[in-house]
Structure 1
Amino acid sequence: MAGQPPFLFLHIPRTAGTTLNRLLERNFPPGSVLSLYTRDDFAQNAVIDQSRLDGIRLIQGHVLLTDYDAFTFYDTPVRAVTFLREPVSRVISEYHFLRTWPGQHLYELLNRENMSLAEYVTSSHKLLRYKGGNFMTRVLSGLDPDSRPEEALSRAQANLRDRFLAFGLTGDFDASLLLLADVMGLSDLLYERQNSLRRPEAARATDEERALVASRNVLDAALYRFAETLFAERVAAGGKAFTARLARHKLLVAKFQNVCRLLDSQAGAPGGAIENPKK
């Protein structure tokens, strides 16, 4: 492939990826972004001619790398980025999202079986086996955390530190965005929050449910603590200049989102259809 390898956004569900994707798409030319999310997306792109990949600058989707040793996708070298989220909140958010959005492929299964959160994270169903337990470790390592836990965690941490071009944390979305912008050459950093999930009081997890989710995601918790430390180091490395830049960015984003809310209200847009990156 001529020039630099394409970027690959490994989108872990419920990490503010929809908001990020909309922003990323504005920063790349039309026709240069390949999205892999739906069955149709994967069916249409089961095989991709190299000449088409030559024009792709960004691949985004709920995918795994083809080769974790060489960091390739479709046998093509890629520069991977991703976002992580506190694992208990991420799993609970994913469960409620899948139960309440009919467009998702697991919506029918979860509602037909009236599956609880506890059942979701412990299920051996082939579609759910990997969903509720150490999913972030699996995505970052390419290994099965159930059979090779220590190796999977160690490899995920090393990949995050040494192999991923950059990563972000959902809870520090704006700082994460600036770190990604520096390595991806992003210039348009304004965003309107997308794909919100606002749960009713009754749908929130109990202490017992949260404890169960935590017990199923011990590796992801360790990975997230590692990521928080590494992220803080990278932000601190930017010094006062980064701090000032972040403050300016947050001010601009706040003004932009105020304008968006005003326009939405004037157009009669329903509230609640936005995603808070910290949710």
Structure 2
Amino acid sequence: MKFRRLRPDTWDAYNKNHEEFNGLWIFQHVPKTAGSSITAALSSHAAPYINISPDRNSPISIRKQYREMAATTSLDRDGRPMRSVSGHLWRADVDMLLERAPHARLFTFVRDPVRRVISDYRYSRTPAHAQWQEQISAYPNLDNYIEDSPAVRNKTVFFLTGERDGDAAEVIPWIMGRFDYIGLLEEMEMSHTILSRLLRLGKSKVEHRRSTEALPQNAEVPTPAQLARIRKMNDLDLALFRKVMVTHNRIREAGLFLL
């Protein structure tokens, strides 16, 4: 049962449908949406688990590595089917995995797009980012980043669909119908509890990990004008975020969310 069908009146059927599933779960991790917290739970409670991650020192492009690994990464470990897999996967990478495991189920997390962009900008200017020095050189300040970086405009929708443009009336229902669950960073406790039920993660707890290091080069505070520009450039991401938030709010208001 897909996320678009999740409502208070369908909660029991939705919950049962996923709790009875014993196959592969794919976590399509959009950057800067609390993925490290989720992957920690998967590795501990949804094993066998693998995170698809490129070799940053390889001469092969990162995106080509992702595509090749999606096509070749073993979905078994020691004779046991893989229970969960994650990665900064684009739609084509996920499609490749689904060709190999057509009954796999998908989940992802979304975040307020303005906050996601600022977080991405700050992270890109720390040594934790593989090309951090190149990022600083290419985008000396937040204004440059907003105007020129492809990471600013509808990045979440781009990861999930392969496109940055489109009609929200078509794009958002497609996403809601593709994914089995979409979590919300702003409702992390609730999202983690729902996900724990669906994947039978037991009593795993939310672990807030890998917060971006505060450094002089990422200390810039966005102005109201910059925030407004980011918001305007993320119409699809914002529409998706709001739609996912509505679903979670309805579940909470119906009293179906139990800690």
Return the TM-score normalized by structure 1: 0.70
Task: Identify if the C-alpha distance between structure 1 residues 99 and 175 changes in structure 2 by more than 3 Å, giving closer, same or farther.
Answer: same
Corresponding residue number in structure 2 for 1:37: 53
**Which secondary structure state, in structure 1, belongs to the residue aligned with residue 206 of structure 2?**
coil
Note if contact 1:167-1:180 (Cα within 8 Å) is conserved in structure 2. no
Give 1:96 deviation, angstroms. 0.4
Give 1:137 deviation, angstroms. 1.5
Aligned length: 226
Note if contact 2:45-2:202 (Cα within 8 Å) is conserved in structure 1. yes
**Which secondary structure state, in structure 2, belongs to the residue aligned with residue 66 of structure 1?**
helix
Letter of the 1:210 partner, please give it: L
Letter of the 1:23 partner, please give it: A
**Which secondary structure state, in structure 1, belongs to the residue aligned with residue 229 of structure 2?**
helix
Note if contact 1:118-1:213 (Cα within 8 Å) is conserved in structure 2. no
Q: Deviations over 1:182-241 (max 9, x none)?
A: 21111132233201126479422111211221121122111211111122223345x2x6
Q: Deviations over 1:7-57 (max 9, x none)?
A: 11111111111111112211023xx21212333694783642666487211
Which of 16, 25, 28 is the aligned partner of 2:43?
Answer: 25
Higher mean C-alpha displacement, 210-219 vs 191-200: 191-200
Which of 145, 148, 163 is the aligned partner of 1:144?
Answer: 163
Task: Identify if the C-alpha distance between structure 1 residues 191 and 231 changes in structure 2 by more than 3 Å, giving closer, same or farther.
Answer: closer
Note if contact 1:36-1:60 (Cα within 8 Å) is conserved in structure 2. yes
Note if contact 2:30-2:108 (Cα within 8 Å) is conserved in structure 1. yes
Task: Identify if the C-alpha distance between structure 1 residues 161 and 98 changes in structure 2 by more than 3 Å, giving closer, same or farther.
Answer: same
Note if contact 2:50-2:85 (Cα within 8 Å) is conserved in structure 1. yes
Q: What aligned pairs does 1:222-241 form with structure 2 within 5 A after superposition?
A: 222-237=239-254, 239=255
Letter of the 1:206 partner, please give it: T
Note if contact 2:41-2:201 (Cα within 8 Å) is conserved in structure 1. no
**Which secondary structure state, in structure 1, belongs to the residue aligned with residue 109 of structure 2?**
strand
Return the TM-score normalized by structure 2: 0.75
Provide the C-alpha distance between the structure 2 equivalents of 1:51 and 1:88, rounded to a whole number of angstroms.
35
Higher mean C-alpha displacement, 153-162 vs 208-217: 153-162
Q: Within the alignment, does 1:208 sit opposite 2:229 as a pair?
A: no
Provide the C-alpha distance between the structure 1 equivalents of 2:230 and 2:144, rounded to a whole number of angstroms.
10
Provide the C-alpha distance between the structure 1 equivalents of 2:52 and 2:253, rounded to a whole number of angstroms.
34
Note if contact 2:156-2:237 (Cα within 8 Å) is conserved in structure 1. yes
Note if contact 1:165-1:183 (Cα within 8 Å) is conserved in structure 2. no
- Structure 2 residues without counterparts, runs of 5 or longer: 1-20, 57-61
Letter of the 2:133 partner, please give it: E
- Structure 1 residues without counterparts, runs of 5 or longer: 247-279
Note if contact 1:35-1:59 (Cα within 8 Å) is conserved in structure 2. yes
Provide the C-alpha distance between the structure 1 equivalents of 2:172 and 2:110, rounded to a whole number of angstroms.
12
Provide the C-alpha distance between the structure 1 equivalents of 2:205 and 2:32, rounded to a whole number of angstroms.
20
Higher mean C-alpha displacement, 193-202 vs 54-63: 193-202
Letter of the 2:40 partner, please give it: R
**Which secondary structure state, in structure 2, belongs to the residue aligned with residue 188 of structure 1?**
coil
Give 1:67 deviation, angstroms. 7.7
Q: Could you tell me the percent identity over the aligned residues? A: 24
**Which secondary structure state, in structure 1, belongs to the residue aligned with residue 108 of structure 2?**
strand
Provide the C-alpha distance between the structure 2 equivalents of 1:49 and 1:13, rounded to a whole number of angstroms.
21
Note if contact 1:134-1:217 (Cα within 8 Å) is conserved in structure 2. yes
Q: Deviations over 1:63-102 (max 9, x none)?
A: 023388x7954632221111110000110111001112x1
Provide the C-alpha distance between the structure 2 equivalents of 1:11 and 1:51, rounded to a whole number of angstroms.
18
**Which secondary structure state, in structure 2, belongs to the residue aligned with residue 45 of structure 1?**
helix
Greater relative CO (CA pairs within 8 A, separation 6+): 2
Task: Identify if the C-alpha distance between structure 1 residues 109 and 51 changes in structure 2 by more than 3 Å, giving closer, same or farther.
Answer: closer
